[in-house]
Amino acid sequence: MKADREKEEYRFRSMITRAQEDQELNKRRQRNLQEQQEEIYIVAQKEQQLYAETISYAEEGERGYFQESMDESQWLSRKIQEELSKQQEALQGGYRNLMKQEEELLFQRQKRWQGEESNES
């Protein structure tokens, strides 16, 4: 009986540890995405500044080309940011699910041992 309980406890601890490791991995991925978003924002700002300077010094006939390139660059930057935001939201949802999973495992473990202690009394 004690060996069964130890095996059961080991199983619960293993599942809880796995859920915690998955949570940590999820958090690292979220931080990575956040860093990517910040880097893309900085690059986009610098790029827009360069385009603006280029347009101001360009000859009249070239300004349209640089303006169009600047507009396309802004559009692409927004699309990338939107995609990264969607990924971030998905990771946040996954993290919440992992937290619920851990809570459920802790609850099941507690319920299991309370039920066993009641039977021993």
Domain ranges of the chain: 2-115
Q: What is the pTM of this model?
A: 0.77
* Integer Cα distance of 87 and 83 in angstroms: 6
What's the pLDDT tens digit per position in 1-32?
Answer: 678 888 888 998 999 999 999 999 999 999 99
CB atoms within 10 A of CB 29: 16
113 close to 51: Cβ distance less than 8 angstroms: no
Instruction: Give per-residue pLDDT as tens, 63-114.
Output: 999 999 999 999 999 999 999 999 999 999 999 999 999 999 999 988 888 8
How much is the pLDDT for 118? 67
